A and B are shown apart, each in its own frame.
Chain A
Amino acid sequence: MERKVQTHAKAAEIFCRDESRVDWHSKALWVLREKRDRAAGSLPEWEELRALGSQIKLHTLSHLGQYLETFEANCLKRGIQVHWAKDGAEHNRIALEILRRHQVKKLVKSKSMLTEECHLNPFLEGHGIEVIDTDLGERIIQLNHQPPSHIVVPAIHMKKEEVGELFHDKLGTPKGQSDPTRLTRAARAHLREQFLSADAAMTGVNMAVASEGAVIVCTNEGNADMGANLPKLQLHSMGIDKIVPDMDSAAVLLRMLARNATGQPITTYSSLYRGAKAGGEMHIIIVDNGRSEMMRDKILGEALKCIRCGGCLNTCPVYRRSGGYSYGHTIPGPIGIAVGADEDETHSSPWACTLCGSCSFVCPTKVPLDKIIFHRRRLYAERGSLPYGKGSYMPLVGRFMASETLLNTGMAAARTALAILPHSLLKPMSGAWGKYRELPTAPGSSFEGWLKKNRPELLVKSTKNSKGEN
């Protein structure tokens, strides 16, 4: 489904029209955050793991070329065929070429945000290959012609009644059935048929182990394994950032991935594929698609430490209350802004953030998300491409705030206005800020004025200090 080009604020406004739904969405995600907190809290070494996870990823990224070459060499030793793709289009061409060579008509896919990023499904469908997403949430949104609204729980925006309606329509479940267990059983039966009749399987990759020439794929449903272990042909697509040096590094990340995502101690299946099954073929497509470019900026590059647990989405007050479809890119939420802001034609997504920093605190590999998002704003300002007309008024705001006289006069006028004018008159001037807020009661004086009057000795000292130290 094509996304409409609109700013985050505009799209969020649409999502926010149904307030009870917003509350329901926010609460569902907060439950995940709470489960994550319990799981993280149960490990005394949690903070040590985060520090190690961050260091492992930073080390790997700083030697990425070497590790990719080691990984490829070890894969080749195992008979795995390795392909390199500069961008999404090349990835799709490679996949199509392999599938065509094997006369594949039906491909079962397990969840992969990378293939979403490359828009693989419509491409293959356009070439006559049927693509079946097999993760339950992914299948739901595929049947509903929607992209994922979350990277771990892709159908989090849908209510069970809506899924029931969809399944009634597409899978023939009884009308009005909305019990999650019954709906899941129906999907199991439907997808079992797909697995048994597929000609090839494709999965994403959670970790690519350089020392072993192996990929690790994590799922709870077993869809990656039901896919990859039946047909002769298996394909795995990975971003260049998925490399880990060895199995010990993988252990550190595996201990945190599921705990930080859903609060489980580990996903049901953590599968290591290190060669084709007897008589089969295994292919790995390594994709750059803008990642090496991000690494040319050392702040943006840290976003590639991400292991896609989705923890930052679950904690983000903006994501929880604006939904996954308000962002102009494939991956929503804080990590989406960090890695995908360039996809957003409106340049507005870095402002879908309060800079509260909660995301950075829950991140298992310490991706400095708030810092990256702030940096994204700066990059837009430097390129002269700020959104919402910020480019025209922000320089004025800057000049206003940089001048002590202007600022003091302006703030005094505002205090007087707040004190004597009716708020109904002033509120329209507060713009979006005042939409869901009351105007503040004006204090009698500025803080500086108060300080001058009550603690003049501090004022003198601090001025001296700041002059002395700066």
Chain B
Amino acid sequence: MSKQAILDALKTSAMADVAMPELKSIGNQLSQVELESRLETNLATVAGKLEPGGIEALKAHTQSLMAQGKVVLSLVDGVPGNRELTASPHALADVDFAVIPGELAVAENGAVWVTEAALSQGEQAARIAPFICENLLLVVRRDAIVADMHQAMGRIGKLEDELGFGVFIAGPSKTADIEQALVVGAHGACSLALYLI
């Protein structure tokens, strides 16, 4: 049994016993104004955009997208779309814009925490939604911005029992694999806008 063999081998380890460090004190406390301004700056460095105007601006935007014939999947209450989740995740390949709620946003790096619970509609759920769409529109509550990853993990805390998938998303997908030239739009969304509500 390889498990036992590996565990037995580890008993002969020469690594000296080191105590777990205290992690609670690290990190910064920021005011709401600072949180929002840092979030905007850092979201821009990861090629995303903080859109002003909140939920009303988002609704107007998706209305105009649908009027242009775009396929809009909305998983945010109160924001209408023209596409529903179906049993097949593959079928979402035609989504032009996905509107998805995030649980929190991280000021230091522009990342938004999206969980499985937000990626569902009625009986249907699709972890693929924020990745397969051409463009991603995220919505986060203004009071759910944290300064850094330590605070983010503090909020997420011990994960809820039902959570099987969660993701920090910082900007649209990107690559620099060809001669270090940054190209936005690799395999995931090609653009990302964040609306604060």
Contact = CB atoms under 8 A, between A and B. Distances in A.
A195 interface: yes
A171 interface: no
B57 interface: no
A278 B125 contact: yes
A230 interface: yes
Contacts of B176: 153, 220, 262
Interface in B168-191: 168-181, 183, 185-189
A275 B164 contact: yes
Contacts of A301: 13-15
A170 B106 CA distance: 41
Nearest to A141: B177
B177 A48 contact: no
Contact of A86 (B6, B148, B171): B6
Interface in B1-32: 1-3, 5-7, 9-21, 23-24, 26-27
A248 interface: yes
A55 B18 contact: yes
A61 B109 CA distance: 29
A65 B2 contact: no
A245 interface: yes
Contacts of B45: 264-265
Interface in A61-107: 61-65, 68-69, 72, 78, 84-86, 90
Contact of A248 (B150, B168, B178): B150
Nearest to A217: B167
A159 interface: yes
Interface string A179-201: 01101110010011001100000
Nearest to B45: A265
A212 B160 CA distance: 10
Given A240-B6, A250-B153, A265-B170, A184 B20 contact: no
Contact of A268 (B12, B19, B165, B170): B170
A45 B26 contact: yes
Nearest to B180: A28
Contacts of A276: 164
Interface string B72-112: 00000000000000000110010000000000001011110
A292 B46 contact: no
A459 to B, nearest CB: 42
A220 B186 contact: yes
B70 interface: no
For chain A, give the interface size range: 35 or more
B33 interface: no
B10 A192 contact: no
A245 B20 contact: yes
A43 B17 CA distance: 30
B42 interface: yes
A234 to B, nearest CB: 10
A189 B124 CA distance: 27
Given A183-B178, A221-B187, A267 B170 contact: yes
A191 B173 CA distance: 14
B156 interface: yes
A196 B90 contact: yes
B165 A273 contact: yes
Contact of A269 (B9, B16, B21, B188): B188
A229 B131 contact: yes
B132 interface: yes
Contact of A155 (B89, B128, B173, B177): B177
A247 B188 contact: no
Contacts of A56: 20-21, 23
B3, B26, B108, B175: residue with the most chain A Cβ atoms closer than 10 Å: B175
Contacts of A266: 46, 106, 109-111, 149, 168, 170
Given A58-B15, A154-B177, A184-B186, A230 B171 contact: no
Contacts of A265: 42, 45-46, 108-110, 170
A69 B7 contact: yes
B159 to A, nearest CB: 5
Given A49-B26, A196-B90, A268 B159 contact: no
A47 to B, nearest CB: 12
7 contacts: A49-B26, A55-B21, A68-B10, A78-B164, A84-B3, A248-B24, A269-B188
Interface of A: 28, 31-32, 45, 48-49, 51-52, 55-56, 58-59, 61-65, 68-69, 72, 78, 84-86, 90, 134-137, 140, 153-156, 158-160, 163, 180-181, 183-185, 188, 191-192, 195-196, 211-212, 214, 220-223, 225-226, 229-230, 240, 245, 247-252, 254-255, 262, 264-278, 286, 288, 292-293, 295-298, 301
Given A55-B19, A288-B6, 15 more contacts: A52-B23, A59-B19, A86-B6, A180-B178, A184-B175, A240-B6, A247-B156, A248-B24, A250-B153, A255-B150, A262-B176, A265-B46, A269-B168, A271-B165, A274-B163
